[in-house]
A and B are shown apart, each in its own frame.
Chain A
Amino acid sequence: MKNNIEQWSDKKIQRRTFFSFAGFILAGISGWFSWKWYRNLPKTNHKLDQTTRNVLGFNEKVKDKFFSNNNMTRTYPKTSAAKRPRLNGFVGIQDNIDVEKWQLEVISPSGKPSTYFQMQDIKSLPKEEIVFDFKCIEGWDQVVHYGGVRFSDFLKKYNLGKKEGSNEWYKYVGLETPDAKYYVGLDIESVLHPQTLLCFEVNNQPLPKFHGAPLRLIIPVKYGIKNLKRIGKMYFSDTPPRDYWHELGYDYDVTL
């Protein structure tokens, strides 16, 4: 180890001490004011300041570098699934609707009339089941068992989500409850993920009302807030569709 003992004059000691403390105090003050500056930035972008939104956007770009549809959420045996999955969030599903008369409206991007799908149109697709660890943005998680069809199968079968006369996907999919009180925006990569399902069953039983009857989204690559219950409308866009929790200050992407 190098010898750290040196002979310094009083003057040098005083000068070094003075400048070190001056620098320390100055750095402390500028740190404090930087924090104050950051905290006082106007909340112009959905309850967050633009700087924070920019960093969250950067985080999303970093995520895009290693996001892959080959990255699967871990699956579990059916016996691990919660018998009574936790209920959380009732926005958009409080009204009683006639499940028999329900239909899914897919809004045409080119301004043509909407297309309507019945439950049998969805159930005619190959059935998929998933038992996975559902993660709520609040911090809890629970192994749940859902059944439905792949979102990607639905889009491909009915030729939805691609630009007219092109093989190019729209960048985003928007989903809303029939009353439009709850709505989410999803990037197309996550929608096309093989574990992203349009579900009509939980624990092999038809969905109860508050789990999103008759059709809900299960998207394991996102927090629960994106797993919209009781899908009423679907639309496609190249700009991010409005998103309920994003408007309340949450990150738009929330990819897990």
Chain B
Amino acid sequence: MLFVSSIHLLQMKEIEKKHPLAIRWFHWVNFPILLIMIWSGMLIYWANGVYKIQIGDVIIIKFFPEWFYKMLKLPYRLAEGMATHFVFMWIFFLNGFFYVVYTLISGEWRYLIPTRKSFKEAWQVLLHDLHISPYHPPQSKYNGAQKIAYSAIILMGFGSLVTGLAIYKPVQVHWLTWLMGGYSFARALHFILTIGYVLFFLIHIIQVIRAGWSNFQSMITGFEVKKNITPPIEEKPEETPSPIIEA
């Protein structure tokens, strides 16, 4: 047994534990649920699809063009959209709620909450990622840009719940609707936050691809194998094959 464990030592690699199981769970539950919320939200939005970005008389973006509605088969599904939205809102809410509670209790929030230097760091990361500057600030689990983005997305989730409630029960929570700038303003905020998620998602995907497989894998396995493997003994592992390990 002593022999086996010494073999074992030779095979050691340095890994970094990155994402606790709970965080991975919340993350991957949120992904399809948010997708369902956005989709059912669009079924609802179609019934009064009035938002657009306009400068003078020139419409820059219309939310949404007819072809977009048709492509996603959105028209005339308001009832279905509302029903789906008001079922899955509970999962969205509970998942987000437990995520925040877990983050607070576990101390994970320490990695997440931006500090004073995060904003400078985020700017450096941005310049680096846009290939303007070669310098990338040293980072712990998350860099400044990530801290700001991931904290913002939590606030946005909270914003969606609050503006959603403000337009779901505007008479019962009239004070909240008033606080959100009134009914139609709250509805617009609710929509803008959704656009925010889509933009977040796009940048998130680009950054995950850029960061590479090992980083992506850590969102599934929880750990990342460090590149600088330093065996504790200088012997090469290959020279001492073990039938136990091969088995």
Chain A residues packing against B (C-beta within 8 Å): 1-2, 4-11, 13, 16-17, 20-21, 24, 27, 31, 35, 47-48, 52, 55-56, 59, 63, 66-68, 71-74, 133, 135-141, 220-221, 245, 248-251, 255-256
Contact A72 B12 (CB under 8 A): no
Contact B83 A24 (CB under 8 A): no
- Chain B residue at smallest Cβ distance from A195: B171
Q: How far is the CB of A189 from chain B (nearest CB, A)?
A: 12
Complex formed: what's the CA distance from A2 to B102 in Å?
Answer: 17
Q: How far is the CB of B226 from chain A (nearest CB, A)?
A: 8
- Chain A residue at smallest Cβ distance from B20: A4
Q: How far is the CB of B66 from chain A (nearest CB, A)?
A: 17
Chain B interface residue count, CB cutoff 8 Å, equals: 51
Complex formed: what's the CA distance from A4 to B17 in Å?
Answer: 5
Interface centre among B18, B48, B110 (most CB of A within 10 A): B48
Contact partner of B14 (CB less than 8 A), chosen from A5, A67, A255, is A5
Complex formed: what's the CA distance from A16 to B16 in Å?
Answer: 13
Complex formed: what's the CA distance from A136 to B36 in Å?
Answer: 23
Secondary structure dominating the interface of A: mixed
Q: How far is the CB of B106 from chain A (nearest CB, A)?
A: 10
Contact with A along B1-24 (1 / 0, CB 8 A): 000000010011111111000000
Complex formed: what's the CA distance from A55 to B217 in Å?
Answer: 36
Interface centre among B11, B177, B187 (most CB of A within 10 A): B11
B100 at the interface (CB under 8 A from A): no
Instruction: List B contacts of A2 (CB < 8 A).
Output: 107
Contact B221 A21 (CB under 8 A): yes
The 8 closest A-B pairs by CB, nearest first: A139-B48, A249-B79, A20-B221, A138-B47, A4-B17, A7-B12, A256-B171, A55-B87
Complex formed: what's the CA distance from A136 to B222 in Å?
Answer: 47
Instruction: List B contacts of A5 (CB < 8 A).
Output: 14-17, 226
B26 at the interface (CB under 8 A from A): no
Contact A139 B45 (CB under 8 A): yes
B140 at the interface (CB under 8 A from A): yes
